[in-house]
Amino acid sequence: DAKTTQPPSMDCAEGRAANLPCNHSTISGNEYVYWYRQIHSQGPQYIIHGLKNNETNEMASLIITEDRKSSTLILPHATLRDTAVYYCIVSLTNSGYALNFGKGTSLLVTP
């Protein structure tokens, strides 16, 4: 699986958009980009995933660059409950379960 690089930490003011970047320059054509988050002491929570096109769901939007070497997770209106560690993971389509989480980005949403 391709390696991902994320900033170790970010801050965001409550109510503003949180934009979390991820670099995956060695991604191959059939690898998906997944985003999960882990709130302190809890199990990870699936957020969104995508292959080439931008994706949106009730939680977030995923913007993948045309060359697929990087992506951005957007939380449009961050709340205090969005404070968590966010993981960007790249994995093959037929082994999307064998996710290996890196160190992620610790997002702190402040009042």
Partner 1 sequence: NAGVMQNPRHLVRRRGQEARLRCSPMKGHSHVYWYRQLPEEGLKFMVYLQKENIIDESGMPKERFSAEFPKEGPSILRIQQVVRGDSAAYFCASSPMAPGQTYEQYFGPGTRLTVT
For partner 1, the binding residues (CB under 8 A) are 32, 34, 41-46, 49, 87, 93-104
Going by their DSSP bridges, the two strands 61-64 and 55-56 should be labelled as: antiparallel
Question: Nearer to partner 1 by C-beta: 34 or 75?
Answer: 34
Least distance from partner 1 to the Cβ atom of residue 67, Å: 22
Least distance from partner 1 to the Cβ atom of residue 49, Å: 6
- What would the two tokens of residue 71 be? 């992506």
Question: Nearer to partner 1 by C-beta: 14 or 23?
Answer: 23
Q: How far is CA 84 from CA 5, 54, 92, 107, in A?
A: 17, 23, 25, 6
